[in-house]
């Protein structure tokens, strides 16, 4: 538990406890979050975002939020402890998740005026659980990049919040909202979590249905929850998965989730019996000193908490050409509907879409999908043969880069983006990944992010180990004000 005195600083579980006890109302919690947005967003939502603003949001819905908060309070009064745990908790949706009757733009002028008729499945499940929608948050346009340059990092406004779920990460880091949803095609949950100092879960592919979510590459896209702690992410994931998994022709549906929100044992060695692997992947990729330090500290924490930490060579690496073939083939399939609207894309996204039109070979696409299936089998066998429970590795090779440039000519997303060199492989395999912040980098003073990876269907495993690390050693950072340091408002 934090020592929060402002309700906006509460985590999901803390707020839920107060809401159910009657010590806090959903309307009071909403008021605190809306006040925090007014204080820390840096002005109303804008398309481009000013250099001295966070600008996490594309749209805010104050009237709807108030209506939903009042309904949540009535539900809590009526149902008491029988109400869903998430009832009355404010939520941010990445601007890819459809809400019937509300704008949905993917942070692009291409979709100006687009208003869906139906809710996305993910939002429908959380709406039924009584969550309160604050608004939509910025994505790197059409989720096709890793920087979300219209959003400032609350830890340092001149730095990127990461992408493509940068708006959700920034809103969480600044304490504007306790819970958010993002998506991940190559690292777009894990990279912004790492750069902004928050937590996320990329579930097993198909765990959360993608219906009503604007796609980037459907066979690589993973919807997922974001929050300041991994345990809060797990509460969200449990509700998101409760209605069943997506039926996919690419992967068998993952087994039902069990034990996702189990309590953490109170003992000196809560990771006893756990085998954690460090591979040579970070060394091959090359990571900055603060990132290497964070990985070393986390590995040492695992040992101190009773885990066995082993160093093993990676089973296999993903071939970037295969990733590009799958990604761009699927991008082209979706974006053909916007033919004639090319001038409305930002420069790098227009080039990204134009590049996708070069990927027209069905044979190449199917061969790359077969390669991914073999890659998945190879890694699953590696886990089994070596008796490994999780891999521990950095989420990003670097701290948050300087903001800007992500939409300039020549900045294509996908293979070659340095921010996703460690993350994209786990989209190809569909493995679940829990992303948590390590301690702040000693040299940079900026967040460092770590990932815990396990085979398909093992969300509970990565959540349990990651939550132990957060509860005992790598404590989640408190929300930050982007304006606490005057140099942030140059």
Q: How far is residue 313's CA from residue 280's CA, in Å, rounded to a whole number?
A: 6
Distance CA 73, CA 124 (A): 19
Partners of 91 in beta bridges: 133
Q: 3-class SS at 225?
A: strand
Which residue, among 469, 470, 474, 451, has the nearest Cα to 281 in the 3D structure? 451
In Å, what is the CA distance from 443 to each residue of 241, 289, 446?
Answer: 40, 8, 8
Rounded to whole angstroms, the Cα distance separating 123 from 136 reads 12
Cβ–Cβ < 8 Å for 281, 379:
no
Query: What is the enclosing helix (H) or strand (E) of 135?
Result: strand 132-137
Closest alpha carbon to 55 in 176, 164, 181? 176
Dist CA 454 CA 433 (whole Å): 7
Which of 65, 108, 120, 164 is labelled catalytic?
A: 164
In 3D space, the residue among 462, 463, 461, 438 whose CA is nearest the CA of residue 449 turns out to be 438
Whether 164 is catalytic: yes
Candidates 53, 65, 94, 324; catalytic one = 94
CA–CA separation, 125 and 244 (whole Å): 11
β strands within 328-453, DSSP E: 390-394, 433-437, 449-453
Residue among 55, 25, 319, 333 at smallest CA distance from 167: 55
* 94 belongs to the catalytic site: yes
Going by their DSSP bridges, the two strands 275-278 and 390-394 should be labelled as parallel
**Does residue 278 contact residue 392 with C-beta atoms inside 8 Å?**
yes
Cβ atoms of 90 and 131 closer than 8 Å? yes
Who contacts 458 (Cβ-Cβ below 8 Å, separation ≥6)?
A: 204, 432
| DSSP states of 2-29 | ---SSGGG--HHHHHHHHHHTSS-HHHH
Q: Which of 25, 160, 188, 444 is catalytic?
A: 188
The catalytic site residues sit at 94, 164, 188
């Amino acid at each position: 538990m934090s020592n929060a005195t402002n309700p906006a600083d509460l985590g999901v579980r803390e707020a839920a406890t107060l809401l159910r006890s009657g010590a806090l109302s959903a309307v009071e919690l909403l008021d605190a979050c809306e006040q925090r947005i007014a204080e820390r967003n840096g002005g109303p939502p804008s398309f481009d975002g000013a250099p001295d603003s966070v600008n996490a949001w594309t749209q805010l819905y104050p009237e709807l939020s108030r209506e939903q908060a009042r309904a949540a309070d009535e539900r809590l009064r009526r149902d008491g402890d029988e109400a869903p745990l998430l009832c009355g908790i404010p939520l941010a949706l990445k601007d890819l998740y459809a809400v019937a009757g509300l704008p949905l733009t993917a942070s692009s002028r291409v979709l100006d005026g687009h208003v869906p008729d139906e809710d996305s499945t993910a939002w429908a499940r959380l709406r039924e659980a009584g969550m309160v929608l604050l608004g939509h948050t910025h994505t790197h346009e059409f989720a096709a990049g890793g920087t979300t340059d219209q959003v400032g990092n609350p830890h340092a406004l001149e730095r990127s919040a990461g992408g493509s779920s940068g708006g959700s990460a920034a809103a969480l880091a600044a304490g504007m909202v306790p819970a958010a949803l993002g998506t991940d095609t190559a690292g777009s949950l894990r990279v912004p979590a790492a750069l902004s100092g928050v937590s996320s879960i990329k579930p097993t592919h198909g765990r959360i249905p993608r219906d009503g979510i604007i796609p980037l590459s459907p066979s690589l896209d993973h919807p997922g929850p974001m929050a300041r702690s991994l345990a809060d992410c797990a509460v969200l994931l449990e509700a998101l998965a409760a209605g069943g998994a997506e039926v996919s022709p690419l992967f068998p549906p993952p087994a039902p989730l069990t034990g996702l929100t189990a309590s953490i044992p109170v003992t000196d060695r809560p990771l006893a019996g756990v085998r954690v692997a460090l591979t040579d992947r970070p060394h091959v990729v090359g990571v900055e000193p603060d990132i290497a330090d964070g990985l070393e500290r986390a590995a040492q924490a695992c040992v101190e908490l009773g885990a066995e930490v082993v160093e093993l060579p990676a089973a296999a690496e993903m071939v970037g050409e295969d990733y590009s073939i799958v990604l761009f083939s699927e991008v082209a399939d979706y974006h053909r509907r916007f033919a004639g609207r090319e001038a409305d894309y930002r420069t790098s996204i227009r080039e990204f879409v134009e590049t996708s039109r070069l990927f027209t070979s069905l044979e190449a696409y199917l061969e790359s999908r077969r390669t991914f299936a073999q890659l998945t089998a190879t890694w699953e066998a590696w886990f089994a043969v070596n008796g490994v429970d999780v891999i521990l590795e950095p989420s990003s090779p670097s701290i948050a880069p300087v903001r800007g440039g992500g939409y300039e000519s020549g900045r294509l997303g996908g293979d070659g983006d340095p921010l996703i060199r460690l993350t994209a492989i786990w989209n190809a395999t569909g493995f679940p990944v829990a992303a948590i912040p390590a301690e702040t980098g000693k040299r940079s003073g900026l967040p460092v992010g770590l990932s815990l990876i396990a085979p398909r269907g093992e969300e509970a495993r990565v959540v349990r180990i990651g939550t132990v690390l957060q509860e005992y050693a790598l404590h989640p950072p408190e929300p930050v004000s982007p304006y606490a340091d005057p140099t942030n408002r140059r």
